[in-house]
Amino acid sequence: MSNAELCYLSATEAQKLFRKRKLSPVELMQAVIDQAEAVNGKLKAFTFTHFDEAMDQARAAEAKFMSRSSRVGALEGLPIAAKDESWIAGKPTSYGSLITKDHIAATTSPNNERILKAGGIIHARSATPEFSCASFTHSRLWGVTRNPWNTRYTPGGSSGGSGASLAAGMSALATGSDIGGSIRIPAAASGVVGFKPPHGRNPDDAPFNLDPYCHTGPMARSVQDAILLQNVICGPSPTDIASLRPKLRLPSEYKPIKGWKIAYSLDLGFFEVNKDVVANTKKALSVFRSLGATVEEVDLGWGPEVLKAGANHLDHLFGTMMANYARKHRKVMTKYAVRFAREASRSTPAKFLSAMETAGKMYETFGPMMEKYDVFICPTNALPAVKADYEPGVDSLRINGKVSALHPMLGWCMTTPFNTLSRCPVLSVPTGRAGNGVPTGMQIVGRTYCDADVFQAGMAYETAVGGWYGDKRRRPKL
């Protein structure tokens, strides 16, 4: 198998080959590292790399697979990119900021701890915008992260480095975090799979483990691979009081969805949505119809107040953290981080309360509607992607030639309403590519805590379309 094929080998297939001794973790790791060294200079998907250590760990994993007496973990020998905001004890975490460029973690985040315990090899850290506070990925510390499908555009954010690394064959799996769409935005823009679990399903670090908007989750090139990683990182943690009991293990195989009822909205009632995104979403919905599902358009009764409520929530909590940094370090911070901090200074308890009241009203329509349907579908992003160095408040946000009146950071992303409805699981899967080559995606939203439903729908769709990276003609030309 050539290096090019190895780089795009699915994580689940790699594991099967490891166990059959038909592929060595050393071969896979070397191929992925070679790919990263060839393209990361152009894409800037990785921040810190640990390639020498990763090769040593790959050799240790190879020895385990060769020894019949050794136990191997669920992720044994797989190259995994961990978002550069989570911790690994003794190693740097920069958060994409000049303020924390020299930070060395004292402890390991629960997700990373579980990945390492399962034999996963964290060979690199994936790029983020400063403190993960943007829907794109560029920073003064690491530069501009670019989309492998069209480098003029962003791979999304804030888990943009994870999305780009997967699309470019620089990692087999990757981690993300999602407080306003930061897993799903780059999943769609990069043409990969991303899962926002219900709040508490996967543990996180304090204090944002206590914010219901905040989630950690897997990113991958296939639904099956996302399940593989999700089953490792989910479950209660003694360090996270918000983490749910008991651990939920997702099946890797599902029954057909014939007879399912699927609701959809192309605009959530208030987004201007790019024509290519609409066309690709409609094609995806037709696939579900071909699988025997009933697909019906619904009116959620939502308006722009939904996005405003999400932004107010983020300003009050997440933005306050940014404001604390800005008081001392404004001169070295990015423009978008300073803007976020400034907006947070206008937050009030009344605005936060209003955001919670809006969340309640949203579910008054969404919850009863979901009693009639198995899943709900809408586009992930209203625009395939903004330009790679997009600056909210400086650059205008245009969709279909119109300047959007919505939030300059979140107005192109249809994800934040489902952070507001944080107990709903959401899987983003690719739906095709736009005219500019940038991928598009759809969100499959489940009833509260019904994680398996979104994976069952996602798996059925993925199987029907034949996946996304198995054929080299479906990969970016780097």
Average pLDDT of the segment spanning 317-326:
95
Give the model's pLDDT for residue 195: 99
- Residue given tokens 């080299």 in the structure block: 472
What is the longest distance spanned by two Cα atoms in the chain? 63
pLDDT-based confidence at residue 1 (cuts at 50, 70, 90): confident
Average pLDDT of the segment spanning 323-351:
95
Cβ-contact 32, 25 below 8 angstroms: no
Residue type at 319?
Answer: G
Residue 96 gets the label, from left (phi > 0), alpha (psi -120 to 50) or beta, of: left
Cβ-contact 91, 105 below 8 angstroms: yes
CATH of the domain at 391: 3.90.1300.10
Give the model's pLDDT for residue 70: 75
Give the model's pLDDT for residue 274: 98
Alpha-carbon dihedral sign for residues 398, 404, 410, 412: negative
User: Could you give the CA distance from residue 158 to residue 179 in angstroms, rounded to a whole number?
Assistant: 9
Q: What single DSSP character describes residue 191?
A: T
- Residue given tokens 């899967």 in the structure block: 429
pLDDT-based confidence at residue 471 (cuts at 50, 70, 90): confident
Give the model's pLDDT for residue 119: 98
Q: Measuring CA to CA, which residue among 413, 456, 359, 344 is closest to residue 159?
A: 413
Give the model's pLDDT for residue 143: 98
Give the model's pLDDT for residue 47: 98
pLDDT-based confidence at residue 118 (cuts at 50, 70, 90): very high
Q: What is the pLDDT of residues 273-311, one digit of tens each?
A: 999 999 999 999 999 999 999 999 999 999 999 999 999
Is the model's pLDDT at 69 over the cut of 80?
Answer: no
Q: Measuring CA to CA, which residue among 195, 188, 379, 374 is closest to residue 274?
A: 379
Instruction: Give the three-state DSSP class for 158.
Output: coil
User: Could you give the CA distance from residue 84 to residue 40 in angstroms, rounded to a whole number?
Assistant: 15
Q: Measuring CA to CA, which residue among 381, 370, 350, 436 is closest to residue 160?
A: 381
Bridge partners (DSSP) of residue 83 are: 126
Cβ-contact 325, 425 below 8 angstroms: no
- Residue given tokens 């699915």 in the structure block: 10
Bridge partners (DSSP) of residue 176 are: 217
Give the model's pLDDT for residue 139: 98
Q: What's the token pair of residue 11?
A: 């994580």
Residue-range definition of the domain harbouring residue 266: 3-474
Cβ-contact 449, 425 below 8 angstroms: yes
Cβ-contact 468, 437 below 8 angstroms: no
Give the model's pLDDT for residue 160: 98
Bridge partners (DSSP) of residue 126 are: 46, 83
Give the model's pLDDT for residue 253: 96
Q: What's the token pair of residue 381?
A: 């992003």
Q: What is the pLDDT of residues 432-454, one digit of tens each?
A: 999 999 999 999 999 999 999 99
User: Could you give the CA distance from residue 354 to residue 242 in angstroms, rounded to a whole number?
Assistant: 24
Is the model's pLDDT at 392 over the cut of 90?
Answer: yes
Average pLDDT of the segment spanning 409-414:
98
Q: What's the token pair of residue 413?
A: 């992303």
Cβ-contact 125, 145 below 8 angstroms: no
Q: What's the token pair of residue 344?
A: 């947070």
- Termini Cα distance of the chain: 19
Q: What is the pLDDT of residues 187-205, one digit of tens each?
A: 999 999 999 999 999 999 9
Backbone phi and psi for residue 60, each to the nearest 5 degrees, phi listed first: -65, -40
Bridge partners (DSSP) of residue 294 are: 261
User: Could you give the CA distance from residue 318 to residue 291 in angstroms, rounded to a whole number?
Assistant: 42
Q: Which residues contact 226 (CB under 8 A, 6 or more apart)?
A: 193, 194, 195, 218, 219, 220, 427, 455
pTM: 0.98
Domains in the chain, number: 1
Give the model's pLDDT for residue 168: 98
Burial track 11-50 (b if 16+ CB lie within 10 A, e otherwise): bbebbebbeeeebbbbbbbbbbbbbbeebbeebbbbbbbb
